[in-house]
Structure 1
């Protein structure tokens, strides 16, 4: 009804605007690990937009943008235990401890926005816009590190805990630095708000400068459950595989390390546009 009313007041006037923009932001993959929030990181985005003017003051717009997020969390100590099988197929309890554990996540999203914008008249205009963005994951990865990784194996049938030998996957393995691995975040839905100043230039050109807020409405945690943060590999026990805390379970607490993951970004947006 609002859009129909605006169209009715436009007296047949139509105008198109195409724009290119960049946004520098503080952003993060927003989640909580053991009551500790993820850290705010630097991020960026850029894109192109198209707007159709319903009247002199109102327009609706869409486009495409690339947005980059980082996430980071630190835990001074992580301990866990679970049952598995050793190289000979014998059941045992695998125990591990990580010191100074840190995990970083990196994600690229292709966003398709849909928004409505209001702006005042004259050469220098104030504008405000609101809408939503549908975000498609292009790439997401994670990497983990720790100052030390210590493991042991407890065999209940023998009532013995082994902290060696190393080739069985037991012992102090020192610092851990894992290479980047695929994370697999899912499609995102974002609430978008922005406001600022629009300067009308010659030849139907315009320059925008404003602030924006992108607030994730949807949990984008990976659908695939990777199980354990440190996974025992019975075929190659020295190769201790690490999963992401975003999709791993802590067996001691019987809970995921992270309940949900959302995106958050805010900062400065500059935009150059031309109308026809």
Structure 2
């Protein structure tokens, strides 16, 4: 309910500002961006790799004077998060379908997970620019990202070996596979995650080229810093990356790294650098 109320408030505020500035709006921008995403080092997931994404959007700029303007926009972001590790291994205590306690062990040559996220973004910005045909500009502000759909993840595991060690008999079982013990060459699984909405601070700077009295072209670089953890709220403390069950029909389950109980103290927060291209239509001569 809290997120719903927050989304509603932001949408209403955005709509009011857009319609209020439509008559006086001096600039309409079509933009596209390339995003290079890195995990923030503090409390980050250990397998996190650099990732990529892209965005397209529409911005309104309302000039306060010749140099300063406030902006409001709407954009779409497509981003990937990648987690990978060679020589994955782990162990934890379990109970088999006969009620006997044992230690479940697993090893894999390689683990990779890719999470695809689609988000709608609402940036609220302040821009400064110099005067002339070729201008330097800088903008900064806050971006609100919300997830209209669940993110999709895909897990690939190469050469997985699982076994069960029974301390009471000092024996390690490597089969049968229907009981969850054995070797598998290649595993692929898919699922979905509901990521949290996100706030980020951004700064962008570059060159604005006047193409005439009514058009201009922006070319800039930007930096974004995520301000909160977007890991799913439904993370379960009892979920394992490779999860043993006592169900003979489905002895092993393969889950997202974001739901791994060993990493309950980790956060999914990022910073992003990238390039931004904007084509602007000027409605009033400044």
- TM-score, normalised relative to structure 1: 0.83
Q: Which runs of 5+ in 2 are unaligned?
A: 1-23
Q: Distance in 1 between matches of 2:235 and 2:134?
A: 52
Corresponding residue number in structure 2 for 1:253:
none
Mapped contact 1:66–1:108 kept (Cα < 8 A): yes
Corresponding residue number in structure 1 for 2:223:
213
Corresponding residue number in structure 2 for 1:26:
36
Q: CA deviation at 1:266?
A: 1.8
* Larger proportion of helix: 2
Mapped contact 2:160–2:185 kept (Cα < 8 A): yes
Mapped contact 1:29–1:69 kept (Cα < 8 A): no
The number of equivalent residue pairs is 255
Give the one of 168, 175, 181 matched to 2:191.
181
| 1:42-191 equivalences in 2 (<5 Å) | 42-138=52-148, 139-178=150-189, 180-191=190-201
Q: Distance in 1 between matches of 2:184 and 2:275?
A: 45
Deviations 1:94-149 (A, max 9, x none): 22222211222221221111110001122222110001101112341222222211
Deviations 1:41-75 (A, max 9, x none): 33211101111111111111111111122222322
Q: Using a 3 Å threshold, how does the CA distance of structure 1 residues 79 and 100 change in structure 2: closer, same or farther?
A: same
Q: CA deviation at 1:258?
A: 7.0
Mapped contact 1:247–1:258 kept (Cα < 8 A): no
Corresponding residue number in structure 2 for 1:9:
none
* Larger proportion of strand: 1
Corresponding residue number in structure 2 for 1:10:
none
Mapped contact 1:111–1:135 kept (Cα < 8 A): yes
Mapped contact 1:29–1:71 kept (Cα < 8 A): no
| 1:176-255 equivalences in 2 (<5 Å) | 176-178=187-189, 180-226=190-236, 227-250=239-262
Q: Distance in 2 between matches of 1:177 and 1:67?
A: 26
- TM-score, normalised relative to structure 2: 0.80
Corresponding residue number in structure 2 for 1:273:
280
Mapped contact 1:28–1:71 kept (Cα < 8 A): no
Deviations 1:160-183 (A, max 9, x none): 3322112111111222222x2112
Q: Using a 3 Å threshold, how does the CA distance of structure 1 residues 117 and 210 change in structure 2: closer, same or farther?
A: same
Deviations 1:212-232 (A, max 9, x none): 112212111122224100112
Q: Distance in 1 between matches of 2:74 and 2:265?
A: 30
Q: Distance in 2 between matches of 1:48 and 1:122?
A: 24
Q: Distance in 1 between matches of 2:86 and 2:126?
A: 46
Q: Distance in 1 between matches of 2:54 and 2:38?
A: 11
Q: Which runs of 5+ in 1 are unaligned?
A: 1-13, 251-255
Corresponding residue number in structure 1 for 2:14:
none
Structure 2 residue matching 1:196: 3-state secondary structure: strand
RMSD: 2.3
